[in-house]
Amino acid sequence: MSAIQILFWFLSGLALVSAIMVLISKNPVHSVLWLVMVFFAISGHYILMNAQFLAIVNLIVYAGAIMVLFLFVIMLMNLDKTSDPQKNWWMKLAGVISGGCLLMEMATLVRQAAEMKEKTVMMKEGSIGLIGNLGKLLFSDYVVPFEISSVLFLSAMVGAVVIGKKN
Amino acid sequence: MSEITVTHILFVSTALFFTGMYGLFTRRNMITMLMSVELILNSVNINFVAFNKYLYPGKLDGVFFTIFVITIAAAEAAVAIAIIINLYRSHHSIDVEDASELKY
C-alpha cells in the first residue's frame, strides 16, 4: 500500500465521518466546525488530484470566508445555546430510506461502469493545476465567464445589502 | 502511479452527496440546510476534478467549472444569509416551518 493510497483512504474517511458529524451534532457551531473539516479533507483530495490552486481557493473561499460568515450569523442569533429543532422521526426515516436507496443505486451504477474500470486518476504527477497555467487559460478561453461572474458578484453584493438592511 | 481508480473517488463523492441530501431533508434549521447545500456542491466539485483528470489530463476545463461553482456558491451563501437574517428579524426564528406565509 503506497503513501498515496494511505492518504486517499485517510482523507476519504475523514470527509465522510465529518460529513456525518455535521448532520448529527446538535449545536450549530459544532456543525460549522465539522464542515470546515470536510473542506480540509476535500482540499487534500484536490491536491492528490493535482489541482493545487483549486485546493487553496477551496480553503480560502469556503473554510475562510463562507464558514466565518456562517459562524457570525449563528453567534449573532444566539443559536449556539439552543439545540436545533428536529423533524419528527418518520421524516428522518423517509430521509434515510430515500437517500439510502439512491445511494445504493448510484453505487451500483458506478461499480458497473465498465468504461471506468481500472482507470487511475494519475495522482501526484504533473503541474497542470498550478496558477500559471490556470491564469493563461482564464484570461484567454474563459474570459467571458470570468467577467460575467464579476457582474454576478456585484449583483449578489447589492442584493445582500438591500435584503439585509432594516427598512 | 498509484492504484486509486476513478471509481473510488466517485464513491466518496456519491456518499458526500447523499449525506448532504439527507441533511437537506431532515433538518429544519435554515443554516444547517444551507450547510447541506454546500456539502452537495462540494461533492459535485470532486466529480468535476476527477473526471477532468481521467478524461483530459492535460486540460483544465473541469477545474474551471469547479472554480465557477465555488464563485456561485459564495454569492449564493451571501444572499441566502441576508434572507435568513431578514427572516429572523421578522419571525424571531430560523425554523423553516415557521415561515409558512407562502405555503398556501
8 Å CB contact of A35 and B38: yes
Based on the structure, what is the number of domains in chain A?
A: 2
Q: Mean pLDDT, to the nearest integer, of A99-115?
A: 80
Counted across chains A and B, CB pairs separated by less than 8 A come out at 231
ipTM value, please give it. 0.90
pLDDT tens string A44-74:
999 888 888 899 999 999 888 899 989 988 8
How far does the CA of residue B60 sit from the closest CA of chain A (Å)? 7
Q: What is the pTM of this model?
A: 0.87
How far does the CA of residue A13 sit from the closest CA of chain B (Å)? 9
- A63 and A138 co-located in one domain: no
Strand partners, B16: none
DSSP assigned state of A86? B
How far is the C-alpha of B3 from the C-alpha of A50, rounded, in Å? 15
Interface test with B, best of A6, A7, A54, A157 (most B CBs within 10 A): A54
Residue B68 is predicted with a pLDDT of 92
CATH code of the region B6-99: 1.10.287.3510
Containing structural domain, residue A19: 3-128
Among A112-116, B63-67, B91-95, B96-100, top mean pLDDT goes to B63-67
Residue A127 is predicted with a pLDDT of 72
Q: Count the Cβ atoms, other than its own, within 10 Å of residue A124.
A: 16
Residues 29-58 on A with a CB inside 8 Å of B are 31-32, 35, 38-39, 42, 45-46, 48-51, 53-54, 57-58
- A135 and A92 co-located in one domain: no
8 Å CB contact of A129 and B57: no
A1 pLDDT more than 90: no
pLDDT tens string B6-64:
888 888 998 999 889 888 888 888 888 999 999 999 999 999 998 888 877 778 888 99
How far is the C-alpha of A133 from the C-alpha of A22, rounded, in Å? 35
